[in-house]
Each structure stands twice: as C-alpha cells, then as structure tokens.
Chains A and B, each alone.
Chain A
Amino acid sequence: MVALTDDEKAMLAGARGEPRRLAMEHLVQVAGFFDAEDLVEVSQVHIMADSEALGEAGVAFLERLAAAPDAERKVVVPTITDPRGTDFKAYERLRQDRSFVELERRMITAFEALGVLMTDTCINYQTIMPPVLGEHLAFGDTGSVIYANSVLGARSNFEGGPSALAAALTGRAARYGLHLDAHRRGTCRFRLETRPKALNDWGAAGALVGRAMSSYWEVPVIEGVEGAPTSDELKHFGAALASFGSTPMFHMVGVTPEASDLPGLFDGSPPPATPIGQTEIAALHAAYVPSDDRLDVVVFAAPQLSLMELRALAGLLDGRRVHAETTLIAATSPELKSAADRMGLTARMESSGAILLEGVCFYQMHAREIGQANGWQRLMSNSAKLVNIIGGYGYEPVLASMARCVDSAVAGRVLP
C-alpha cells in the first residue's frame, strides 16, 4: 500500500475538491499496480491533448473537472500540452471533419479552465523549458519522455493523459519505474558500427534498438557513438526507439549524462553487444519499400520539426514546386511556426506548395479520416516513428531522407 503524506490524504478524502480527489484516487490505483511505496513531487507536467485520443469520453471528463469551483480545479504545477488534432488555420485545406474541430474547441476550453497552457508541442524539451538532471516530471509523449530521461537525465514515466492530468492537479506522480535509480540501470547493449547520417538513419537505428525491446522495463545501452550527435539526431533516435519499443530511456556511452562509462551502467558484467551497422539500417528501410512509385503525401512530423529542420526543409524546397498530385505537409510547434513566419521560412516553403502546420502532428490528427477524405495512401516520411505508427491507419509508408522525400514530392512519385 502506497504511503501518503497528510496533504495527499486530504486530497484523497476530497478536502481539496472533487477534481483533486479523482486525481489522487487515480494515482493511488496506478501506484498500487506498480508497487510504488510513495508519491514524488513533480515540477512540470506535459499532457497528451489530441481530441482523437480523448474522444467524446475524455472531453466530457475534462468538462466535468472544468465545472468545479476555481480553487478546486486549477493545476498546481506548470502544465503544458502535446500536439492537438486540428490546426484551426488549416483544417479546411486538409478536409478535416468539422466535428473534430468542435470536439477540439471544447477540449481547449476545458483545459484552459483548469489552468493548462496550450503549447501544443511534443518538442517541449527543445522549445519550452528543457528539464534538468534529476528533475522529476510527468511527461506525456513517448518522445519527450525518452529525451528527458536519456539526454537530459530528468525522471519521468510515460504519463498518459489521465495520469498527467492527475499529476497536474496534485503536483505528484507515483514513484515507480524511471523515478527510481534501480530502473535506470542498463539491461541490454548495442554497438553502433556506423555513424547514422541523415535523421532517417538515426531514426532507423533507434527503431532497430526499439524492435529488440521486450518490455517497458528494458534500458538499452548504446556504445560506439564518437562525438556528440545533435539534439535533432537524438530526438529522431529516441522517438523511434520509444515508438518501436515503447521504451522510456536509453544510455549512450560518452554522450548522455548518466553514461560516462560502460561498466558503471550495468549490475554485474555487461552483456554482449548487438551490432547495428549499415546493413541493419538498410534492412530497416527495406521493410518500407513500396510495390510501385505512386506517391500521395509526404509528411515531415513525429516529432514536430525544430527550427533547424524547418531551415533545412525550406532550403530543399527553394525554387521548386511540389507536384500537383502530391501533398507535402510539415508540422511544427506554434512558437516555431511564428519564428518561421518571422524569418521567412514559411513563405519559402509555402511558395513551393508545401503546407506548414502548427500545433499538430500528422498521426494525431485523425489520420485515417483525412487519408480517406484526400485519397492518401502512399505516404513518404523521414520519420521512423511515423512510418511505424501510420500503417495501422491504412497508409503504405516509405522511409527515406528529407532530401529524397522532397525530390519525390517534386517528381510526384517515389524516387529510388
């Protein structure tokens, strides 16, 4: 049974109102499932907030909380959101159903009544407030969790919407999993025998590690990386690892802050290393080779693009025109969209016919329905995470570099 402080007991008894009682009840239930001994205070919360995931049930739940008196419903730690499902400036171009827009407006109103800041981004660790070593968090996107744990040394489990909301209303998370030193120890070992080049190669390497993970409790240790990768390279590596493996943490020897040397990462002697070379990375890509060269849509998202990725994309599109039969979509955060507008990147992209969306991510925006509405099936992306997810939504994904994706979008067919 989880030990609670007097303050936590008061919340559980309803003394701080119904929203905090429900939140504490949820935390205690999850704590019990994972044998947590107590709760831990968290300093910031990041919530998944796409209306496709919430559905009518989730939105109605939020509205019930939002109807409570002000003092009972406001979050007690800074709370921000993951991408939403519709960009209100672009939903008509994408033929998104109006019912999605209405559900999302209700969701936003309810979140704002709780005091949640609608940041609508999954790259909060690059754009909002990067966590620091040892900081306890409740983060709500697998990509943001794995980056915060691994690259920054902060501590979070995967917190789905209900648990992240419970953390926001109480300032607590159940202390199990990645909050504990014991669950941050290495359990398996991989050696990168080639340095991935483009972001899709970093994603493919992450996918290969992720595919080998048997459960959430594995912590892969990666060695062989000479010299620091960029934040975007680790973002794609981690997002793919988390997506293919449902894995919340990795160590990269000599790169990530808790991995200064290999032997110190394991209890006992390190297990043998699984090699990842050019052959394996090529084979991962080969799993997404299409039967013909038809191309419907090219997507850059999952995770949302950094300013550096937007700059690279604008450079590749300069002076070119996306083929009339192909749609090119990129997604970024609202803050970076403003920056891209100000710096002329948006104009450069859109003059080629590309669409730059803000505050959304492709797979979180009712991908099945917009695929059907627009006749999209063959999808090309440089995101290993996206190609992993999108098959379940009825698409045929192709994984390739950003440059090859752009060349293909211009040609209107998948180029080899």
Chain B
Amino acid sequence: MNGRVLRGHAGIGPKVTGTALVAQDNFSARYDLDLTEGRFSRPDHALFGESYVGRVLVLNAAKGGVATAWMLRAMSESGLAPLALLLNFANPIMAQGAAFAGLPLIDRFETDITAALRTGDQVALDPAAGTVTVVPGS
C-alpha cells in the first residue's frame, strides 16, 4: 500500500511532507476552529477537540463562509495553521485563501481522499503536479 500515489487536480502552494489528520467531515476555518488554541471547536465536527496545527488536514468539502480566505494567512503567520489541506472538493474561498496564505491545497482526487488516507499516514504533497505520495513505512 505504501508508496502509492494519489492524483488530484493541480493545486496551490509549495511541496510539503507531513502527517495526515483525516475525517469524512467538511471544513470551514470560521465555523469549525478555535484559532487561538489551534483546535477544532465545533461540537458536532468529527475532529472536535483535535489540534490541527502542523497537520495535513484531509477532509471532504470546503464549507462555510468567506472568512477562511483571510483567515488562512492569519493562521499561518500566527504559527497555528495546518501544514496543508487535502479535500475532495475545495470551493473558491479555500482556493483563494490558500493562494493568499501560500498554504498547500490539492482537491478533486481520482478517489475519495478521506477514504484513501488514514490519520497518522505520512504524505508528501506536490501541489503543482496535483499528487500525494504516501511515504513508505508510515
């Protein structure tokens, strides 16, 4: 299984490698996160209570309002940001926010990305190519 490559649409941001935090839930920075503590704060979110800092967040679809477009950069500069975002479906706000923040984002995978990865997997992202490689041994 490891070493496999998952292909999505060409994304945004630099190459990174990190640890996945996976759920089949959706994502909005304003609706779901406590930005001062760096954790999921929406009570009915599957990742409620989890820290997202430095993780490769793997979730289903971008949801919520427009605030995320400003917020991702503020999160990056405060040091309380995810390392990258992998979604089945981004929306304009998530793409704009990732571009503004320089945060890696890939979406529209050939397979359901929330089923293809598990929390704890080490993944290497190449946004320009739209690929995610599961690092062997992880």
A: residues with CB less than 8 A from B are 26, 29-30, 32-34, 48, 50, 52-58, 61, 82, 140-142, 157-163, 177, 214-217, 242-243, 245-246, 363-364, 368, 388-389, 391-394
Contact = CB atoms under 8 A, between A and B. Distances in A.
25 contacts: A30-B99, A33-B90, A54-B70, A55-B73, A55-B75, A56-B77, A56-B78, A58-B74, A158-B91, A158-B92, A159-B92, A160-B66, A160-B69, A161-B66, A162-B99, A214-B89, A215-B89, A242-B65, A243-B65, A246-B26, A246-B28, A391-B43, A392-B30, A392-B34, A392-B41
Given A55-B74, A57-B74, A216-B62, A160 B68 contact: yes
B12 A162 contact: no
Contacts of B63: 245-246
B42 interface: yes
B39 to A, nearest CB: 11
Interface string B75-86: 111100000000
Given A33-B95, A216-B92, A389 B73 contact: no
A162 B100 contact: yes
Given A55-B74, A162-B69, A163-B92, 4 more contacts: A33-B99, A56-B74, A162-B97, A389-B65
A25 to B, nearest CB: 9
B71 to A, nearest CB: 6
A61 B77 CA distance: 12
Contacts of A54: 70, 74
B31 A160 contact: no
B96 to A, nearest CB: 4
A273 B32 CA distance: 31
Contacts of B73: 55, 57-58, 61, 162
B110 interface: no
A394 B41 contact: yes
Contacts, number: 139
Contacts of B74: 53-58
Interface residues of B, number: 45
B70 A48 contact: yes
A161 B96 CA distance: 9
Interface in B87-105: 88-93, 95-97, 99-100
Contacts of B96: 26, 30, 159-160, 162-163
B57 interface: no
Nearest to A52: B67
B69 to A, nearest CB: 2
A392 B66 contact: no
B92 A34 contact: yes
A398 to B, nearest CB: 15
Interface string B29-72: 01111101000011111000000000000000111111111110
B16 interface: no
Given A32-B10, A391-B43, A391-B44, A216 B91 contact: yes
